[in-house]
Amino acid sequence: MSVVVYVESQNGVIKKAGLEVASYGRAIANATNTSLIAVTFNTNDSSVLNSHGVDKVYNINTAEDSFFNVDRYSASLVPIIEKEEASIVVVSATADGRYLGPILAVGAQAAYFSNVVALPSSYAPLTVKRSCFTNKAFNESVSNQSKAVICLSSNAFGLKEQTSNAENLEGEYLVSNSTLKVTAVDKVTDKVTIADADIVVSGGRGLKGPENWHLIEDLAAVLGAATACSKPISDMGWRPHNEHVGQTGKPVASNLYIAIGVSGAIQHLAGINSSKIKVVINNDPEAPFFKAADYGIVGDAFEVVPKLIQKLRAIKQ
Amino acid sequence: MNILVCISNVPDTTSKINFKDENKSFDTNGVQFIINPNDEFGLTRAVWLQQKSGAKVTVVTVGDSSCEPILRKCLAIGADQAIRIDAVPSDGFYVANQLAALCKKENYDLIITGRESIDYNGSMVGGMLASLLSCPYVANCIQLDIEGTTVTLQREIDGGKETLSASLPLVLGAQKGLVEESDLIIPNMRGIMQARQKPLSVEAPMEIEAATTVKHFEKPQSKGPVKLVDADDVDTLIELLQNEAKVL
């Protein structure tokens, strides 16, 4: 028996999402009195996992094959899951984690639960709470299998510290016979992504034009936040589609979501509902977003946001 | 080329979500069902391939007879034929196995699912189906180019996109970007009339156990009203976020 967590890293450094699944895995290992095993790929230094209770780390070196390849990662994880006799495997709800989860579940002959928002309420049989109906409801689901893969919603559990002294092992990179190859990755590397962010600052049509986007970017910069936009903004090409949040865009589950000039169409709210605290700044007091928000300012974004940036800068200094 | 598009019958986004039978099942009373939006992006892309290169487009759903109106709509949009696997889609693993059984019989070149359904949001059927068929899967697919049996695709990732290549057969998870919302095909009268003549067959499911069972549903606790802060007083907003919400 053991718990295996797939800990994501980027440029050799473990991501926050990876530490969250390690924290979650540790809590399961504590509750079921078993050990926690982390698997990472191309990580330079995994010592941070000793602060999150990991007992054993397999680092897999993929050599010159530097891109995430779902079939190869799954093929490399399955033998470790089998060797360690894991009954629960945890992955992050990042784009890669959500891609890997179902493929890994079939490979490891495990049940699969996505959008899991809390620790299991029972381990025999495994029972988890997951969100559904695009965050408008939850369900309690039970596993009918002896193994399960859990995809943990971002920021659902948070980071918990527990000291450990992990044994470091090398895992084997197994290239499956799949024809799937990743040939190029094109992404912004100097910005926090929506999936990784604690805070997301989002803009809508109230910004009036792409030339005013600096308001969103400056506020995001002072908060260390990711930037996002509503659907019309990406449809009009002011911002790339990968910043569009909502039902047909990216899901957001940040601790703080600040919507500026976003009216709050039901499709938008569906995508951001699992954010913990929502703030809206909009000059229309009738905007539907005010019904979904925790805090709101009825006012002109062009006046309120610069003031907010100035005050926050003063605090941060 | 033979294309299969897997369709999910889901409640319209604006539907009120309620549960019945002591919160054990979804209350469909008064709910309008639609083609899952991500599946519709995929269907539109498939119809383009049909128009361009004469591909044959089959749509399939796993569900009872109440799903037939959306299959007819898919036929009106342009699919050539529809299959309904007559079973309750109890979980993603069960559905993926039903689809895999059909795919093994029919040898589709390209299998399109939506990146996720907007009801159970499992985003698992595509990946599981590909694994069961031992073929590649590309999630969150925003571009598709087919040259013979070689396929070049793009997947949306956190903060950007990546380019992948693979050979047919292959499964992809469609989303907005593969086609745009303005590209979606609204069936015209001719399409609707033709759809009535197109074949819609009903097949028996294979025997397999679901991997998971939903015990019950619950709705989130209703939150309090918004706390409004004066537009001249951003200090108060910052103070509330720091000390009350504790998110700064």
Q: Token digits for B23?
A: 């919160």
Architecture of domain A199-316 in this structure: 3-Layer(aba) Sandwich (3.40)
Q: Is the overall model pTM greater than 0.90, yes or no?
A: yes
Per the CB < 8 Å rule, is B118 touching A270? Answer: yes
Please list the ranges in chain B whose pLDDT falls under 70.
none
pLDDT tens, residue by residue, A269-317:
989 988 999 999 999 999 999 999 999 999 999 999 999 999 999 998 7
Residue in chain A nearest B142 by alpha carbon? A241
Indicate the average pLDDT of chain A. Answer: 95
Please write down the HEC assignment for all residues of B117-172. Answer: CCCCCCCCHHHHHHHHCCCCEEEEEEEEEEECCEEEEEEEECCEEEEEEEECCEEE
- Highest CATH level, class, for B2-218: alpha beta
Q: Nearest-CA distance from A244 to chain B in Å?
A: 10
Give B 29-48 residues with CB within 8 A of chain A.
37-38
- Domain range summary for chain A, segments of one domain joined by +: 2-171, 199-316
Partner residue opposite B156 with nearest CB, options A114, A132, A242? A242
For the segment A193-200, the average pLDDT, to the nearest whole number, is: 89
Q: Is A229 in a helix, a strand, or coil?
A: strand
Burial grade of A3 (CB within 10 A; 0-12, 13-18, 19 or more): buried
Is the ipTM higher than 0.90? The answer is yes
Evaluate whether A2-171 and A199-316 have a shared fold. yes
User: Domain segments of chain B: what residues?
Assistant: 2-218
CB contact A132 to B (< 8 Å):
yes
Read off the pLDDT of residues B102-125 as tens digits, 9 standing for 90 and up.
Answer: 999 999 999 999 999 999 999 999
Superfamily of domain A2-171: HUPs (3.40.50.620)
Nearest in space to A114 (alpha carbons), one of B121, B59, B136: B121
Residues B35 and B7 sit within 8 Å (Cβ to Cβ): yes
